[in-house]
């Protein structure tokens, strides 16, 4: 079955520390992968897409097909990064996104 696994429910770091939010997917083809973020009392919003190879708010994510991973990274965490982060996946046929259970990132000073 196609699924997305985010192994950490909660990740707590200090301001300025590096951050890595893990995401693994199960799919043998070429996936389309996304990271979504939900700040407190706000709606779910797109953070970045793997196909864009972009950096948003200092976050990057690299698709590793060998490890079927799409980990989200930021070299220096900021307090405003505290939020819930969801990894999401779609197959080549463009079916609806499948979301992981999410990881809460807490950045403290």
Partner 1 sequence: DTGVSQDPRHKITKRGQNVTFRCDPISEHNRLYWYRQTLGQGPEFLTYFQNEAQLEKSRLLSDRFSAERPKGSFSTLEIQRTEQGDSAMYLCASSLAGGPYGYTFGSGTRLTVV
Chain residues in the site for partner 1 (CB under 8 A): 4, 6, 9, 32, 34, 36, 43-46, 49, 51, 86, 88, 90, 94-102
Of 6 and 74, the one with the shorter C-beta distance to partner 1 is 6
Least Cβ distance, residue 27 to partner 1 (angstroms): 14
Residue by residue, DSSP assigns 49-83 as EGGGT--BTTBEE--BTTTTB--EEESS--GGG-E
Of 36 and 59, the one with the shorter C-beta distance to partner 1 is 36
Of 87 and 107, the one with the shorter C-beta distance to partner 1 is 87
Least Cβ distance, residue 16 to partner 1 (angstroms): 29
Q: How far is CA 44 from CA 23, 50, 68, 85, 95, in A?
A: 18, 18, 24, 9, 19
Least Cβ distance, residue 32 to partner 1 (angstroms): 4
Question: What strands lie across the sheet with 72-74, from one edge to the other?
Answer: 19-21, 72-74, 60-61
Of 77 and 100, the one with the shorter C-beta distance to partner 1 is 100
CB 103 within 8 A of CB 35: no
Least Cβ distance, residue 13 to partner 1 (angstroms): 21
Bridge partners for 98 per DSSP: 89
């Amino acid at each position: 079955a196609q699924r997305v696994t985010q192994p950490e429910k909660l990740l707590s770091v200090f301001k300025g520390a590096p951050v890595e939010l893990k995401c693994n997917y199960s799919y043998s083809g070429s996936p389309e992968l996304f990271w979504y973020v939900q700040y407190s009392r706000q709606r779910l919003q797109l953070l970045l897409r793997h196909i864009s190879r972009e950096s948003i708010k200092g976050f990057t994510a690299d698709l590793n097909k060998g490890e079927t991973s799409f980990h989200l990274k930021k070299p220096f965490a900021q307090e405003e990064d505290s939020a819930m982060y969801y990894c999401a996946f779609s197959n080549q046929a463009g079916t609806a996104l499948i979301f992981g259970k999410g990881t809460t990132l807490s950045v403290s000073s």
